[in-house]
Structure 1
């Protein structure tokens, strides 16, 4: 039995490791394909500087279709604007000597640099203008060079678009799903650390890395939200509006942090003795809900039940009422009273935000049902 179990566990661990790196592996494949296709197209067309097609194709391909669309759009706009500016400067100034061409570059880059500083899509414009104006006039005319730069960049961008759409396409809303689930699991881990430190100072060496990872994950969620919107605007995905999910994750993180700060403050011994076992029940049910919610959102399953959380919170409220009726809080200073009575408000906010999370999970499940050809991801059973 043990001999048969070990290979299955190794297979499952390997599968999880591959899934956690699937986005990066798919991106690597797309970059290879984009580079090869760019090189083939460049050699087929025999353009003067074929490497620009390859470079453009590689720069455009991003981790998701939505990010590729944004990057490609910005690159095409910036390239076109920079080539037009460089070509116009060449026609007006007619630079021939090295000094004249240098002056033309300076005069052209000055307004483009200011524009790029305030308009991120224009950041490639100064680069394109400089390339156009500094091209060797003995090989090609400056205006002709501008036309070739636009053609090469546009071809490379189109190749990047095609590769992102048809070679192991990675939709932004799928990436958002994975990152949201990761964020929920990090919140569960944080809550577990705070639970272990109830009524005493926690070990910051254990908490700080978790906080940093959670902040980083939620920042990635925010960035992915824009990519999902781009996909939805171009009718490339039927995913629900991602902003409510991002907002809910921000609020849940605030709940975890606020509750943690409240819990780790020292409490009077009689109240600590009464509240600690009850709160452990509350924290365990919330952690279990976060864990189940992460998995449900990941596989587009039904939202977990809130019944256990509701029962634990009711038990906590009753215990707090008993403490008050027994006058255990009367001799306490105001700061300690504020700490104790802040917990119910924090937990009530937590409950409301968990309900909102369940609504987001239900939206995700509804989205899957509207696409009958899609199936939830599953892990291998090892059989």
Structure 2
């Protein structure tokens, strides 16, 4: 028994580490970037070489795509800010503190407006201020601007190199995990609705699940941009990520519409007839989402929609029986609309699940899928394949 308990603890610890592998890898990259930046700074012997270390640490992000975007923005903003500060310094030739303060105000005004409308330029006002406020007894302002650009560029290149060669994390693999987690959250929401058909579900649990799903889909949108950056720089051969993000948004809308339809209790005669049938539909859709999440993670073939189609056909038959028995005639128009909105939403859900299967098929045909299959075992249970 002690040996079994020890193995369970080791397995649980291993799952916890694997679930936090992205954060751990980022920590290693930051450490390497800092140490390498310090080494290069010592060898370069520049006036303010600590900017090399700072730039290297700021550029390294969770994925290669995010690092490319951050590094590109930092290099452009630094160059623009240094040029603006150097130009104003050449024109005004500030010597006293009052003159330098005036030069800073003149420079920061346009740069601040530009940064407000162009987020990649946010570093430009900072660089310009550093250049103009540099101690003139050590270096000339123009020379300081040139050094600043050189230091930031060296640090940025170090960040690029570390992200590419030290435990590189591709944005596409992050997108795979985010998509699978989104599908599992939708499954949880459907389980909640399945158990509350015909009665108003509690709001606290729903609000928490919906908030988590909204946050996760916002992360998906960010990761999609990073994947596109990697694809544009020929660092990834992954499929276009936008159809997947669009499909996830539509699936979430379907879940939301189901929740709105069931937000108010169904009329009792109708709820009695539809409740067991809806439970069957919800169970099959949840099973499909669960299998789809696993298939997308492992680049496996998409699951079959046959069970979902059969359950929806059964639901349509039950609804036709309700219509045939005239159970909806005495009901108000709002309640009739509530009843017939549900099959419309479920039909949309089926179409979006079919589109999801197409995205899984694209994932299966990804030439890099073998890299993802190196992660053996179920990421949720840690069990090894039989």
Q: TM-score per shorter chain, which class?
A: over 0.9
Which secondary structure does the structure 2 equivalent of 1:332 belong to?
coil
Q: Give the Cα–Cα distance (whole angstroms) in 2 for the partners of residues 3 and 365 of structure 1.
A: 42
Which residue number in structure 1 is paired with residue 353 of structure 2?
354
Q: 1:189 to 1:372 in 2, by over 3 A?
A: closer
For 1:1-383, list aligned pairs within 5 A. Answer: 5-368=4-367, 375-379=373-377, 381=383
Q: 1:375 to 1:26 in 2, by over 3 A?
A: same
- What is the count of residue pairs matched by the alignment? 381
1:8 offset after TM fit, Å?
A: 4.4
Q: Give the Cα–Cα distance (whole angstroms) in 2 for the partners of residues 382 and 240 of structure 1.
A: 28
1:61 offset after TM fit, Å?
A: 0.5
1:42 offset after TM fit, Å?
A: 0.3
1:6 offset after TM fit, Å?
A: 4.0
1:376 offset after TM fit, Å?
A: 4.8
1:377 offset after TM fit, Å?
A: 2.2
Per-residue CA deviation, residues 270-329 of structure 1 (Å, 9 max, x unaligned), is: 221111111100000000111111111111111111111111111111111112112222
Per-residue CA deviation, residues 70-121 of structure 1 (Å, 9 max, x unaligned), is: 1100100111111111111111111111111111111111111111111111
Q: Is the 8 A contact 2:198 2:268 kept in 1?
A: no
Task: List gaps (5 residues or longer) in structure 2.
Answer: none
Q: Is the 8 A contact 1:179 1:217 kept in 2?
A: yes
Q: Give the Cα–Cα distance (whole angstroms) in 1 for the partners of residues 11 and 301 of structure 2.
A: 24
Q: 1:7 to 1:324 in 2, by over 3 A?
A: farther
1:173 offset after TM fit, Å?
A: 0.7
1:4 offset after TM fit, Å?
A: 5.9
Q: Is the 8 A contact 2:299 2:369 kept in 1?
A: no
- TM-score, structure 1 normalization: 0.96
Which secondary structure does the structure 2 equivalent of 1:137 belong to?
coil
Q: 1:282 to 1:3 in 2, by over 3 A?
A: farther
Q: Give the Cα–Cα distance (whole angstroms) in 2 for the partners of residues 62 and 136 of structure 1.
A: 32
Q: Give the Cα–Cα distance (whole angstroms) in 2 for the partners of residues 232 and 318 of structure 1.
A: 47
Per-residue CA deviation, residues 101-147 of structure 1 (Å, 9 max, x unaligned), is: 11111111111111111111111111111111111011111111111
Q: Give the Cα–Cα distance (whole angstroms) in 2 for the partners of residues 65 and 215 of structure 1.
A: 24
The answer to which of 231-240 and 193-202 deviates more is 193-202
1:37 offset after TM fit, Å?
A: 0.4
Per-residue CA deviation, residues 195-221 of structure 1 (Å, 9 max, x unaligned), is: 111111111111111010000000000
Q: Is the 8 A contact 1:53 1:156 kept in 2?
A: yes
Q: 1:326 to 1:358 in 2, by over 3 A?
A: same
1:263 offset after TM fit, Å?
A: 2.3
Q: Give the Cα–Cα distance (whole angstroms) in 2 for the partners of residues 138 and 176 of structure 1.
A: 51
Q: Give the Cα–Cα distance (whole angstroms) in 2 for the partners of residues 351 and 3 of structure 1.
A: 48
- TM-score, structure 2 normalization: 0.95
Q: 1:373 to 1:343 in 2, by over 3 A?
A: closer
Which secondary structure does the structure 2 equivalent of 1:367 belong to?
coil
Q: 1:340 to 1:296 in 2, by over 3 A?
A: same
